[in-house]
Chain A
Amino acid sequence: MNNLNDLRAKFQEEYKQKLTRPRIVVGLGTCGIASGGGKVMEAIKEEVAARGLDIDIDFTSCIGMCYREPMVEIALPGAASVVYGDIFPDKVAQLLDSHVINKTPVYEWAAIQIPGEATPYEGIDIMEQSPYYEKQVRSVTSRLGRTNPENIGEYIATGGYEGLEKALGMERQAVIDEVKKSGLRGRGGGGFSTGMKWQFVYNAQGDKKYAVCNADEGDPGAFMDRSVLEGDPHAILEGMMIAGYAIGADEGCIYCRAEYPLAIRRLNLAIAQAEELGILGENILDSGFNFHIRIKAGAGAFVCGEETALLNSIEGKRGMPRVRPPFPANSGLWEKPTCLNNVETYANVPFILRKGADWYAAMGTEKSKGSKVFCLTGKINKTGLCEVPMGITLREVIFNVAGGIQGGGKFKAVQSGGPSGGCLPESKLDLKIDYESLTEAGSMMGSGGLVVMDQTTCMVDVAKFFLNFTQNESCGKCTPCREGTKRMLEILQKICDGKGEMEDLDTLDRLSRVIKNSALCGLGQTCPNPIISTLEYFRDEYVAHIVDKRCPAGVCAALLVYTIDAEKCTGCGACLRACPAGAITGEKKQPHSIDPAVCIKCGACISKCKFNAIYKA
């Protein structure tokens, strides 16, 4: 067997050279590009040329602090590297003058610094000790925002493909045992033991086997798979190759959402680079192992994230789930034994092989090992991507990593697991994050989206939002999901319109249980979770909607009454002019009033009032 030592030495030398040169790195993940990173890049190129600076310009992916994008890192030889946040094109000139020419960082724009061997600057948080990263571990996300994802050399220089080399030198069963020993469980949300799954495929009879990667991330509020695909595409390839070797597959397929064009482009590039170096393709590293990977772009259906639907979609059919068993491990793609794992699961595998199962199993709780990548969204100060050890509490993630509730609001609920998950109240914040405890509390780990809600969120409305989503995305194959989601949505709509009755809650409860037990696939079985959990923890909000005909959070339009506070109203007439329905009357400089019969509750008056004189309740 050939090894990569010569290549690795060469790339490590190149990488070391790169690190000794002055450089500017722009974060160009999807979040960076969406915040204007491309324009920042152009501005940097222009300004550097105008000043005739000798400095390398490079790009990287999302470091995780999406709330500070666009981000720019400046590293000068012998000094700590500084990562700046909120760098728009108009700040580039000052940044270059101060940091590159005068060697003085712009302290007030700096987010974090990475000193390496150098002396840290005073007054800038060191990455590992900064509030955002202090509780985090970075293994799956270790290359995100630190290396160039389109450069295979940097991947290899930072330990890439070592796991594959190691695996190819082992017996296939030994590789599976290593993954079993690590305790890695499915990161798509199901939490099935990855090693066990591989064992089933290994044991399955078949002349041909496949390794498939599920990159059809469709949950609202989840983007960790996208970040890993864009930031470290080779890790997915390496994980799939190790799986392929272990189970005896020679073909792999990545099913990726068409909505992730950048991820697809970087994966294609990664495949081409790996093939060119002989790491992917025929007779990999002279070991006799052949493996080819192709990419299949999805066509826009949430249900295709369900494994059997995904396989149907790859085969060019309608993406509808089928009854299990037989499980894909025995009869999957083209009815051959298929190992199907999520992006993050595969991304963990190279680390397990490289550093050993014991290293991995040392992190996490008794039954949930390793780390988990979460997407933090909603009413929090710091939205972004974080990787935390299993067993950390929800409170630590929300109040330490994510910096607490936006605008000093009050925490109400956290939703994990997307449309399949549930909403957990404050009393559950000290739960340790692992598969069992979240499921027990009525939510689930899910893919890793955490949506935080404050007092301005109506829980009935949230349940309605998710139901609306699952109802739209239901494939229609099985009756409980097709008809059930529709009826549950109708009842929720009725409650939000103020026409609900107390019996509706019993009906919702019964429907939820029946659908949970009778739907064909995971989408249907879990779609009642948002309702079940909000009914359990926030029942009073449902009752307020039904009995008092009011929405405590002030969200459900039909239940709101807009009123003008005569004390605060100056009679300026701004609201009167803004009202599209002509519901506001009043003399100039006299307090105005709103006729509730004419008011259409659009909120236009509130946005125009400078005196906070209008309130809804």
Chain B
Amino acid sequence: MSACACGEKVVLSHEEAFLKLLDKYRDYKGGLIPVLQGAQDIYGYLPKDVLQTIAKELNMPFSKVYGVVTFYAQFHLKPRGRNIIRICLGTACHVRGGAKILQAVEEHLGIKHGETTEDLRFTLETVACIGACGLSPCMMVNDNTHGRLDPKAVGAILDTYE
């Protein structure tokens, strides 16, 4: 956000914000990580062409940029959804048809686990056990646990998340 003389707030486009960020850190010693952090704030993740631009603008090999991105837990190379779904595949959920829940969610969203929907609404992940075995089969969406799931009903639950 920046304010112009007339007092109207101007929302920068992604590209403009990114260029501003690069300008700020171009001659800054050790600026790679702040640039990556800033770029991820702008785009939500770190697309390949953005990484290539960063490498070029900061005058360093692409391999070095990629090496730093893959070292730190904070950086994502693939887009992340606004809502993170974690389907539990622990023993109890497995016995009670966790795989069927996963299948139902995959069909409902049209993606496989580990992927993100194109509209960036959901990222689908699987976990070993979320410790709610009494509610199996279950899943978590963001911080909310949904239990005793029925493959036919998961669609309705997901539709409540924007």
A interface residues with partner B (beta carbon < 8 Å): 258, 296-297, 299-301, 313-320, 334, 475, 578, 580-581, 600-604, 607-608
Contact = CB atoms under 8 A, between A and B. Distances in A.
30 contacts: A258-B37, A297-B34, A299-B36, A299-B74, A299-B75, A300-B72, A300-B74, A301-B71, A314-B30, A315-B30, A316-B29, A316-B31, A316-B33, A317-B64, A317-B68, A318-B68, A319-B72, A320-B71, A475-B71, A580-B92, A580-B136, A581-B92, A581-B95, A600-B91, A602-B133, A602-B136, A603-B133, A604-B92, A604-B134, A607-B134
B73 A602 contact: no
Contacts of B31: 316
B41 to A, nearest CB: 11
A299 B73 contact: yes
A299 B72 contact: yes
Interface string B71-93: 11111000000000000001111
A149 to B, nearest CB: 25
B67 interface: yes
Interface of B: 29-34, 36-37, 64, 67-68, 71-75, 90-93, 95-96, 133-134, 136
B37 A299 contact: yes
Contacts of A580: 92-93, 95-96, 133-134, 136
A600 B68 contact: no
Contacts of A319: 71-72
A580 B96 CA distance: 6
A313 B134 CA distance: 44
Given A301-B73, A600-B95, A602-B136, A318 B67 contact: yes
Contacts of A334: 29
B20 to A, nearest CB: 18
A608 B134 contact: yes
Nearest to B135: A604
Contacts of A601: 91
A607 B134 CA distance: 8
Contacts of A318: 67-68, 71
B136 A258 contact: no
A101 B31 CA distance: 56
Contacts, number: 69
A244 to B, nearest CB: 18
Contacts of A316: 29-33, 68
Contacts of B34: 296-297
Nearest to B65: A316
Contacts of A317: 32, 64, 68
Nearest to B136: A580
Nearest to A473: B73
Contacts of B93: 580
Contacts of A297: 34, 37
Nearest to B35: A316
Contacts of B96: 580
Contacts of B95: 580-581, 600
Given A299-B36, A300-B72, 7 more contacts: A299-B74, A316-B31, A578-B134, A580-B93, A580-B134, A602-B136, A604-B133
B74 to A, nearest CB: 4
B14 to A, nearest CB: 21
B134 A600 contact: no
Nearest to B73: A300
A378 B80 CA distance: 34
B38 to A, nearest CB: 11
A59 B39 CA distance: 34
Nearest to A600: B91
A301 B69 CA distance: 12
A419 B114 CA distance: 30
Among A318, A320, A475, chain B packs the most CB atoms within 10 A around the CB of A318
Nearest to B68: A318
Given A299-B33, A300-B74, A314-B30, A602 B68 contact: no
Nearest to A253: B30
A327 B67 CA distance: 25
B115 to A, nearest CB: 22
A232 B92 CA distance: 47
B75 to A, nearest CB: 7
A34 B50 CA distance: 36
Nearest to B58: A316
A602 B37 contact: no
Contact of A313 (B33, B37, B91): B33
Among A320, A578, A580, A581, chain B packs the most CB atoms within 10 A around the CB of A580
